[in-house]
Structures are given as structure tokens and as C-alpha cells.
Structure 1
Amino acid sequence: MRVLVVSDEVEPHLYGPGAVRLQGTIDLLVSCGDLPFYYLEYLAGTLNVPSYFVFGNHGFELEHRADEIAIAHPRVGTNLHVTTVNERGVLMAGLEGCLRYSPHGRFQYSDSEMWQQALSLLPRLILNRLRYGRYLDVLVTHAPPFGIHDQPDRAHTGFKSFLWLLRTFRPRYLWHGHVHVYNRNQVIATRYCETNVINVYPHRVIDV
């Protein structure tokens, strides 16, 4: 399965001919958050593929329409937050948002709050194990794990609960965004236990 994973920034070449050129070569679209709905709807419609997403920390501040009609989610795609799906044999789960850095923020969580979110995945992951012989293939998040691709400022510090999920359930991949990449020396792919942790900003094409 060939997956287009996007996050954090609308790329003009993909919001146009670039997506058309990818038609027929992409099997799945995944968003790691902080992208406007119209962008995800355009990509999913142009590529004509299933799509999944988690919200980023900016949430509805970015994910709006030019006509200012308020909607709660894209008109295409499935929200992966605290749920699991089996997409043609690939087991995926998701966790939205980032570490809380301001008093108000719908998609910001304290460390303890994210632990609760992560633990809520347990029944579904155990059911995956019973049904398919493994817990998870891909964990989709907005923020990175603690100490992997994160930054020293609070807004871009990763979650420790993600490390526990990787050690315990050993997915093949964790895809995240949130941390923007500004130079070629910035690390964007790290192996942790049995998981390839990949910062997909602003997009990556990944063969699963």
C-alpha cells in the first residue's frame, strides 16, 4: 500500500497539478493534523482514495472554509483519534493534539490527559491481537513522542505515553507532524524499539 501522509502546511504543488500526477499511484491518504479541510477534501477527491486524519493543536483555527461555513470535520475521511481501523490489512490507530501550552485549546492535553487517551486504546488493541495476531501497524499522531523529533519549548515537547505505546504494542510506524522542518540536518526518521518514527511535515509518500 502506498500512502500519502500530510501535515501542517498546504503545499501549492499538491493543491493542484501535483496531486493529479499522483493519481493512480496512491492507495491511501493520511493527515497528521493542522491542515484546512478544503485541502484534505481536494486531495482525497483528486486521488480518489480512502482518507484518515487526526486533528492538530490548532484545530478549528485552521480547519475552516473560505466561505466561513462552520463544520466540525472534513466531509471526507475518518477521524482516527482514540480508535482503530483495519484498512485493507493495515491496522491503524490515532491520537490528536499536542502538549498543553495555553489555558485554552481544544486539542491540547496535559501529560496525564494524554495517558488517559492512550490507555483508552487498550481494548481495541487487544481485540486486534486476538483477531489479527498483532496489535497495531501504524500509529498516527500530531505531536511526536517525548525525546524523538520534539523541541525544548513546551508547545513542541512530545508525549511520554507515546513511548509506552511503542514499547508495548510495537507498531511498524508512528507518523507525526507538528514539528516543522527547516534544514536538511534536522532528524525526521528515527528507529525506536521496532517502530520507525517519521516526521511527515509537510508530506511524505510511504510504502507500507
Structure 2
Amino acid sequence: MKILLVADKENDFIWDHFDAERFKGIELIISCGDLQPSYLSFLVTMINVPLFYVHGNHDTIYTHHPPEGCDSIEDRIVTFKGYRFLGLGGTMKYSGRPHQYTEREMEKRIRKLKRQIRKHNGFDILVTHAPAFGIGDGKDLCHTGFKSFLTLMDEYSPKYMFHGHMHLNYGRIERIQQYKNTTIINCYDHYIIDI
């Protein structure tokens, strides 16, 4: 299955000069947050496939203007073409605004999902906005990853983790990293993967 991954930056070339050929064969779009709702609605309309999203720390507008034609997978598991996607948006709490969580609050969200995870016999892909602690995250509180994501990967060994938040132009940040059995992909701007 070919997936278009997007996060954090609207790509002007895609938005202003859309070329359907570049996205031929795409079956799903995943947004890892911090994108304008109109951009996501544009993508889902032009590519004409489902779009799943989680919230980034700047997605407060989604409360009143959610992206049309797109599905939030926040705090739930969604199955698509045999793959189980678990969505956990937001970042480390640094200013008290929506979609920010302490480590303890993120652990609580995950505990609430345990029954769903058992019911689905685990999950294949973890979709987040923030990275996991120590794997492509930053040193400041805002960009620190969650340790609870490491625990989730240790316990369930998903094949993939898709995240945003860490812009690739921040410095020495790699797009793809490996953590045990999980391939972690930073979805900044856009990236196409065939799983």
C-alpha cells in the first residue's frame, strides 16, 4: 500500500502546481499534524483517497474548522486495508495550550487505549505528532519526545511509527530511523512510502 505522509509544512509545489501523476497509486494520506485544514481538504479532494490525521500542537483551529473529508484517528485504532493505525497527536506540554500533554497525561491516554489495542490484537502503525524520546526529538521541552511512545513500541512492536513536529531543517535530523522492530519516519513536508 502506497501512503502519502504529510506534516508541519504545506508544500507550495503540491498546492500551487498539483500534478496528479506524482501521486499515482497513492491509496491513503496520513497527516501527522500542524497543517492548515484547507490544505488537508485540498489533498483529499485532489488525490481522492482517505486521509487520516492526528493533531499537532498548532492545530487549535481544527476545533471549529476541521479538515473536510478527513478522519481524525486521535485516541483510537482504525483499520484500513488490513493495517491497524493507532493515533496519538499532540506534543509535550510547554505552554498549556490545547494538544499539549505531560508525560503522565500521555501515559493516561495510552492506558485508556489498552482495551482497544487488545481487541485489535495490537497495532501495525503508530501515528503521532511528537517523536519518541531520544529518537529524532529536540532538547527543549517543546520538542522533547514522549518516553511512553518507547514503551508502546517495546510492548507491541509496530512495524512503523509516523510522526511530525521535528522540521528537517532544524539541523541534523534524519528522515528515517530504526528502533528495535519499528521503522520511524519523520513526515515533515511530505514523504511517500510503500508498505
TM range, smaller chain: over 0.9
Offset, 1:164 = 0.4
Q: 1:82 to 1:183 in 2, by over 3 A?
A: closer
Matches within 5 A, 1:118-133: 118-129=110-121
Once residues 136 and 115 of structure 1 are traced to their aligned partners in structure 2, the CA distance between those partners, rounded to angstroms, is: 17
Identity among equivalent pairs (%): 35
Counterpart selection for 2:162 from 157, 161, 175 = 175
Rate the CA distance shift 1:140–1:193 in 2: closer, same or farther, 3 A. Answer: same
Alignment partner for residue 97 of structure 2, among 100, 105, 119? 105
TM-score where L is the length of structure 1: 0.89
- 1:137 is the counterpart of 2:124: yes
1:136 to 1:183, Cα distance in 2 relative to 1, 3 A: same
Shift of 1:88: 1.1
Deviation at 1:60, TM superposition (A): 2.1
> Does the Cα contact within 8 Å between 1:19 and 1:47 map onto a contact in 2?
no
Q: Against the structure 1 CA distance between its residues 110 and 184, is the aligned structure 2 distance closer, same or farther, given a 3 Å change threshold? A: closer
Q: What is the alpha-carbon root mean square deviation over aligned residues?
A: 1.6
Aligned to 2:79: 86
Give the drift of 1:182.
Answer: 1.3
Which runs of structure 1 show a deviation greater than 4 angstroms over 4 or more consecutive aligned residues? none
Give the Cα–Cα distance (whole angstroms) in 1 for the partners of residues 136 and 173 of structure 2.
8
Q: CA deviation at 1:147?
A: 0.4
Gapped regions of structure 2 (runs ≥ 5)? none
TM-score, normalisation: structure 2: 0.94
1:58 aligns to what? 58
Match of 1:162 in 2: 149
**Unpaired runs of 5+ in structure 1?**
64-69, 130-134
Give the 3-state SS of the residue equivalent to 1:197 in structure 2: strand
Q: Which structure has the highest strand share of the two?
A: 2
For residues 140 and 192 of structure 1, do their structure 2 counterparts lie closer, same or farther at Cα, with a shift above 3 Å needed? same
1:75 aligned to 2:62?
no
Checking the alignment, whether the CA contact within 8 Å between 1:19 and 1:46 is kept in structure 2 is: no
Tell me the equivalent position of 1:25: 25
Q: Residue 200 in 1 paired to residue 195 in 2?
A: no
CA offsets 1:7-62 (integer angstroms, 9 cap, x no match): 0000011113345233432110110000000000000000000110001001125x
The match for 2:175 among 188, 200, 203 is: 188
Number of equivalences: 195
* Distance (Å, rounded) in 2 between the aligned partners of 1:202 and 1:168: 30
Partner of 2:34: 34
Q: What is the CA–CA distance in structure 1 between the aligned matches of 2:76 and 2:159, rounded to whole Å? A: 17
SS at match of 1:27: strand
Tell me which residue corresponds to 1:46.
46
Structure 2: distance between partners of 1:24 and 1:106:
36
